[in-house]
Amino acid sequence: MSKFKVIDTAFAGLKVVEHRQLGDDRGYLARLFCAKELSSAGWHKPVAQINQTFTRNRGTVRGMHFQHMPNAEMKLVSCIRGAVWDVVVDLRAGSSTMLKWHAEELSQANCRALLIPEGFAHGFQTLKDDSELIYLHSTDYTPGAEAGVNVEDPLLSIGWPLPIAKISARDQLHAMLERDFAGVAV
């Protein structure tokens, strides 16, 4: 029996992954990743890096980050403590959903994750204090390939559920997209 339930979204390649918890009176075990099981959902690369974020305050926004080719990355993002409003923006050139965004609440309680393909910018807003995420990346972080989209870009009109309480100076400096933005190669 699969340890995951994979749910398609309206965005090609973007999947919601629900972890199944196997538990008893001691607690539970949840498989966060299995290459064999997630290959049918589109994960087709080795895990190159695993990162953890801890965000102290509710309302904090991190993002919207991505890497350009040849360092574009797939991500599998899981919330292991607290809750976040996890947002992706499709930046893929030629995509029918280019410049549209999709969001999911990820929490320790709902056991949901997002499997994000290359060509999407990613960010989140914390819904609870002391929230933690685990990210699996298909590619190493490459400073020369990194880029970002401004979280308040009017062209995207991301519906953040809370007023933005905090955002890093680096993320505030991400440029707004030009009206003639043609997308990124993947």
**Residues with active-site annotation:** 65, 135
Contact indicator for 79, 18 with CB cutoff of 8 Å: no
The SS3 assignment for 110 reads coil
Cis preceding linkage at 70, omega within 30: yes
Q: How many CA within 13 A on the CB side of residue 24?
A: 1
At position 63, the amino acid (one-letter code) is G
List helix spans (H) across 32-172. Answer: 35-38, 169-172
Give the Cα separation of 160 and 45 in Å (integer). 31
